[in-house]
Amino acid sequence: MKDAPQTQPQRIGKFEIIEELGRGGMSTVYLARDSLLDRLVAVKLIRLPDDAGPVLHVQFIDRFIREARAIAGLDHPNVVKFHEIGEQDGMHYIAMEYINGGTLGRLISDREPRDLRERLDLMLQILDGVAAIHEAGLAHRDLKPRNIMLTSKGQIKIMDFGAVLHEEGDRADDQVLGTPRYMSPEQLQKQPGDFRSDIFSLGSICYELMTFAKAFPGDSFTEVSQMIRKEAPVPPSQIDMLLPSSLDAIIGKAMAKPPAERYQSCREMASGLKRLVAPFMETDNGEAGFRELSFAPGEIIFSQGDPGDAAYLLKKGKVRILKHTENREREISVFTPIALFGEMAILLPQGCRTASAVALEPSMVTEITRENFEALVKQSPRSIQAVLKVLATRLADLTARWVALCDVREES
C-alpha cells in the first residue's frame, strides 16, 4: 500500500516551514525559520505510513525521542546541535541546527576533496565527533557518508541518531538497524554490538573517503553482507598507489571482523592515523609532497617533445594521449580514473616526452615528480609494484598491436 501524498505544513510549533530538504523511510526534514530567535533551523518530522500499526508507531516514536535525548546534552563542533523536541497535533518533531552544505556521500561521489591532507582532516574531524558521542555513553549504529554533513566552511557535522544505542540497557531490540554497506559483522548477525561496531563503520567510511571506492561493492544485501562477514576489502594502496601502505594497516585494523581486534576507541584510531600517515603527507621542508592540478577540456597537460620529469595520476575526468608524426596525429590511448600516465618520466633519465596528453573533459590529476616517487617508494613499497604493473600492461598491449600489424602485412 502506497503512502498518501504528504502535504507540507506551513508551521510546526514556533517554526515557519520554508521548504522540504529531504526525506527518509519514516521522516521528513524541512528548512524552517525560528520566528522567536529569527534563525534558520532544520525540523525533522515523523512520517509514518498510513498502514503502520500501533506497535510500529510506538517503537518509532520511542526511537525518535531517544535520538533527541541522546544527543541534546552534547556540545561538540562536529556533532549537530539539537534545539527542541516537540509534538503538535499528533506530529512529533525535532528542531536542530541547519547545516548549509552537502553530505560526505555527495563529496565522495564527486571525487572530492582532491588533496589527501584535506581528506585526512575530514576523517580526523569525523573521529573526533564520534569520540564525543562514545564518551557520552552512546553508540551511533548508523554511521555512513550520507549521515555526515560538511558545512560551507569545511566543518564536519555528524547527524541522524535514530539508531543510537545506550551503554547500559536498551539491548532488547534485535532488529538490524543501520545501513548494510557500513554495518559491522555483529550488527548483520543481529547482535547488540557496541562502540566497536561504530569503529568498523568508520573504517568503511575512511576507506571510501581515501579511495573513492566502496569497501564492499556488492549489488545486493546478501552479497554485501556476505563480503562484510567473510571477506577483507582490497587494500587501499592497491586502488590508489599514492596512498601509503600504513593506511592499509589502519583501515584494516578498524575493519577487523572480531571486535576485540579493532581499535578500541576513536581516539586510538585517530592517533594511529596521525602517527602513521603524517610522514607521508609532507616532504622534509614541510611542503606538500604532491601537487593537485586541474585541466579544462582541450587543455594540454604535456606536449610531445617537451622535457619531462613527472608522471600523472588521473583522479577525475578523461585524458587523451596523442602521438604526432610528420603526416598526422594519432590517438594512442584514452585514460579514465584511476590511471597513471607519463610514467617513463620518473623511471628513466630525463628526456623528452614521446607523446602529448590532452584533457577530454574537466580533469584532475596528481603530479608525481621523480623525487616524489622515490619518497613514495620508501613509504609504500607497493607503489613500485603498481608502476611495474602499468608498464607490463602497456608492454603487453604494444606487443599485441605489433603482432596484429605483422599479420596484416603478411596477408597483404
Q: 323-348, pLDDT tens digit by residue?
A: 888 778 888 889 998 888 888 777 77
Residue 119 belongs to what H/E stretch?
Answer: helix 116-135
Report pLDDT for 380.
Answer: 60
Check for a shared fold between 101-281 and 291-381: no
Reported CATH class of domain 101-281:
mainly alpha
Q: Which three cell numbers stand for residue 167?
A: 551503554
Amino acid at site 20: E
Report pLDDT for 405.
Answer: 60
For the sheet containing 101-103, what is the strand order? 101-103, 148-151, 156-158
Amino acid at site 342: G
For the sheet containing 11-12, what is the strand order? 11-12, 15-23, 27-34, 39-46, 91-97, 82-88
Report pLDDT for 281.
Answer: 55
Active site residue 240: no
Give me the helix-helix angle, 370-379 and 382-411, nearest 10°. Answer: 120
Would you list the domain boundaries of the chain?
Answer: 11-97, 101-281, 291-381
> Distance between CA atoms of 304 and 312, rounded to whole angstroms?
15
pLDDT at 284 exceeding the cut of 50: no
Q: Which homologous superfamily does the CATH classification assign to the domain defined by 11-97?
A: Phosphorylase Kinase; domain 1 (3.30.200.20)
Amino acid at site 169: G
Q: Do 358 and 298 meet the contact criterion of CB atoms below 8 Å apart?
A: yes
Work out the widest C-alpha separation in the chain, in whole angstroms. Answer: 87
Q: Do 77 and 119 meet the contact criterion of CB atoms below 8 Å apart?
A: no
What SS3 class is residue 352?
strand
**Which of 290, 257, 289, 250 has its CA nearest to residue 123?**
250
The DSSP string of 218-286 is: -SSHHHHHHHHHH-PPPPHHHH-TTS-HHHHHHHHHHT-SSGGGS-SSHHHHHHHHHHHHHHHHB-TTS
Under 8 Å CB-to-CB from 165, ≥6 apart: which residues? 138, 139, 141, 171, 192, 193, 194
pLDDT at 285 exceeding the cut of 50: no
Report pLDDT for 289.
Answer: 61
Measured in degrees and rounded to the nearest 5, phi and psi for residue 20 equal -80, 135
Options 128, 142, 198, 240, the catalytic residue: 142
Q: Tell me: the pLDDT tens digits for 79-105?
A: 999 888 888 777 788 898 999 888 999
- Which residue reads 616524489 in cell numbers? 372
Does the reported pTM lie above 0.75?
no
* CATH pick for 291-381 out of 1.10.10.10, 1.20.140.10, 2.60.200.20, 2.60.120.10: 2.60.120.10
In this structure, the strands spanning 300-302 and 148-151 are unpaired
Which class for 354: exposed (0-12), middle (13-18), buried (19 or more C-beta within 10 A)? middle
Q: Answer with the residue of higher pLDDT: 290 or 222.
A: 222
Q: Answer with the residue of higher pLDDT: 372 or 274.
A: 274
Residue 83 belongs to what H/E stretch?
Answer: strand 82-88
Q: Tell me: the pLDDT tens digits for 219-245?
A: 888 899 999 999 999 999 888 877 888
pLDDT at 407 exceeding the cut of 70: no
Q: Average pLDDT, stretch 155-183?
A: 62
